[in-house]
Chain A
Amino acid sequence: MPSLKALRNRIASVKATQKITKAMQMVAAAKLRRAQGAAEAARPYAERMGRVLGNIALGMKDSPEAPKLLIGTGKNQVHLLVVCTAERGLCGPFNSAIVRLAREKAGALEADGKQVKFLCVGRKGFEQLRRQFEKQIVETIDLRAARVLGYEHAEGIGKKVIALFNESAFDVATLFYSRFKSVIAQVPTAQQMIPASFPVGESGLGQAIYEYEPDEEEILADLLPRNISTQIFRALLENAASEQGARMSAMDSATRNAGEMIKKQTLKYNRTRQAMITKELIEIISGAEAL
């Protein structure tokens, strides 16, 4: 049986932990509200961009002059997986869910005899992927210094991806991130960036005959790189909201667990204390009776 002092110490330490997890939960809740707002504010831009590009791309798809970013290199040999994760842990299965999805995809591609390269955004994803794919990681982008996610961060990553593409370092690029569905549900998602993919069936405006200024090719050449940055930006924002949501629910259950543990330990402590008093009384009484 543990001594009273050991039990007391254990209760105190669990209480301290509970305070920390509770504080983290509240901080995550506050940050979540902001991140969610930012993710929602970014949606109209990404959606309109996708729609307009989809419209133009539909007409260009079969033309031989279509830009490579749209139709791809014609090969399907080297895949680049852009894995966006968080910079910090303690957010439940958030990081490992994204990494698992990327790893499964990589495994499937390698089984097919394809070559896989990684570009990690966020330290946590890099740390997890390093164990298995150390040599295949082309670059790691650390956003720890960024206090507020700005479009310029996404633009920087987008430029790197395009530079790699222009060097023919890969044929197909896929973006991995976690879509924010609700506070308790974050869905790890894979999205193909190059060749560009557009949601199908979103016509509606397809009938209108547009005038293009400058011509379609130049517009596409201008917009496709922007679209990549936009997609990355959106992924980063969705990720930020998902991370805070995941952290909030993880810390919530940690706080609840700590509460349960305190209850159990307190009960044990009181029992032990009582047992010792009873034991001492019995000793005194039996001593007195022996006289």
Chain B
Amino acid sequence: MATFPFELVSPTRLVHSGEAEEVIVPGAEGEFGVFANHAPLISTLRPGILTIKAAGGEKRLYVRDGFAEVNPNGLIVLAEVAVPVEEIDAAAMAREVEAAEAALAEAKEGPERDKAHERLDQMKSAAAALGAAGAARH
């Protein structure tokens, strides 16, 4: 299967770099899969699970806040938080959901509130997905 260069970068380090067959990215407007020779695309991320499928197997990471760029040279994902699913614990996730809830409570009426609401929903679904992934592992 054709592969393409993929990089996942967080502010503190280069998290993942290598060839991938397929990468599933949680885009702001829905998940999308990227194969080799994908059309150039820039999309922001929502909190969720990013799946890398490569010759060596599958890798899943929790990503939040950032964007993905597909260009002829491959795929680059910039995320403020990028943690392998195995390393994330339920308590940390619960704290993130709480932070989103607190932000909603503070948000003023209008677009700001809508945004906070949307974020909380995204956070919750990400937490649920992580919970499911955790359960499947045990």
Given A208-B71, A213-B29, A49–B44 Cβ distance below 8 Å? no
Our count of residue pairs bridging A and B at CB distance below 8 angstroms stands at: 74
Given A208-B72, A214-B28, A52–B42 Cβ distance below 8 Å? yes
* Surface stretch bound by B, among A103-111, A219-227, A258-266: A219-227
* Surface stretch bound by A, among B50-58, B61-69, B130-138: B61-69
CA A56 to CA B69, docked complex, whole Å: 12
Interface core residue of B39, B42, B76 (most chain A CB under 10 Å): B42
Smallest CB gap from A219: residue in B: B44
Smallest CB gap from B38: residue in A: A211
A residues in contact with B84, CB < 8 Å: none
CB interface residues, A 168-206, toward B, < 8 Å: 205
B residues in contact with A44, CB < 8 Å: 7, 9, 14
* Residue in contact with A233 in the complex, picked from B11, B13, B76, B78, CB distance below 8 Å: B11
Q: Does B114 contact A (CB under 8 A)?
A: no
Task: Please tell me if the beta carbons of A49 and B78 are within 8 angstroms of each other in the complex.
Answer: yes
Given A208-B71, A222-B67, A213–B12 Cβ distance below 8 Å? no
Task: Please tell me if the beta carbons of B11 and A230 are within 8 angstroms of each other in the complex.
Answer: yes
Q: How near does chain A come to B81, taking the closest CB pair, in angstroms?
A: 9
Task: Please tell me if the beta carbons of B67 and A223 are within 8 angstroms of each other in the complex.
Answer: yes
Q: Residues of B within 8 Å of A, CB-based: how many? A: 25
B residues in contact with A213, CB < 8 Å: 27-29, 41-44
Smallest CB gap from B68: residue in A: A213
Q: How near does chain A come to B111, taking the closest CB pair, in angstroms?
A: 11
Smallest CB gap from A38: residue in B: B12
Task: Please tell me if the beta carbons of B9 and A45 are within 8 angstroms of each other in the complex.
Answer: yes
Given A151-B80, A208-B71, A222-B67, A41–B44 Cβ distance below 8 Å? no
CA A208 to CA B69, docked complex, whole Å: 12
Q: How near does chain A come to B107, taking the closest CB pair, in angstroms?
A: 14
Task: Please tell me if the beta carbons of B13 and A41 are within 8 angstroms of each other in the complex.
Answer: yes
Given A48-B9, A52-B67, A230-B11, A210–B80 Cβ distance below 8 Å? no
A residues in contact with B78, CB < 8 Å: 45, 48-49, 52
Contact with A along B75-104 (1 / 0, CB 8 A): 010101000000000000000000000000
A residues in contact with B9, CB < 8 Å: 44-45, 48
Given A210-B40, A211-B42, A212-B42, A226–B13 Cβ distance below 8 Å? no
Given A208-B71, A222-B67, A226-B65, A151–B42 Cβ distance below 8 Å? no
Q: For the complex, would chain A's binding face be called helix, strand, loop or mixed by DSSP majority?
A: helix
Task: Please tell me if the beta carbons of B10 and A218 are within 8 angstroms of each other in the complex.
Answer: no
CA A44 to CA B11, docked complex, whole Å: 8
Task: Please tell me if the beta carbons of B40 and A214 are within 8 angstroms of each other in the complex.
Answer: no
* Residue in contact with B12 in the complex, picked from A42, A49, A155, CB distance below 8 Å: A42
CA A170 to CA B43, docked complex, whole Å: 31
CB interface residues, A 98-139, toward B, < 8 Å: none
Q: Does A288 contact B (CB under 8 A)?
A: no
CA A41 to CA B43, docked complex, whole Å: 24
Q: How near does chain A come to B23, taking the closest CB pair, in angstroms?
A: 15
Contact with B along A25-65 (1 / 0, CB 8 A): 00000000000001001101110110010001000000000
B residues in contact with A151, CB < 8 Å: 10-12, 80
Q: Does A209 contact B (CB under 8 A)?
A: yes
Smallest CB gap from B29: residue in A: A213
- Interface of A with B (CB < 8 Å)? 38, 41-42, 44-46, 48-49, 52, 56, 150-151, 154-155, 205, 208-214, 218-219, 222-223, 226, 230, 233
A-B contact pairs, 18 of them (CB 8 A): A41-B14, A42-B13, A45-B11, A46-B11, A48-B9, A48-B76, A48-B78, A52-B78, A151-B12, A205-B71, A210-B71, A211-B41, A213-B43, A214-B28, A214-B43, A219-B43, A230-B11, A233-B11
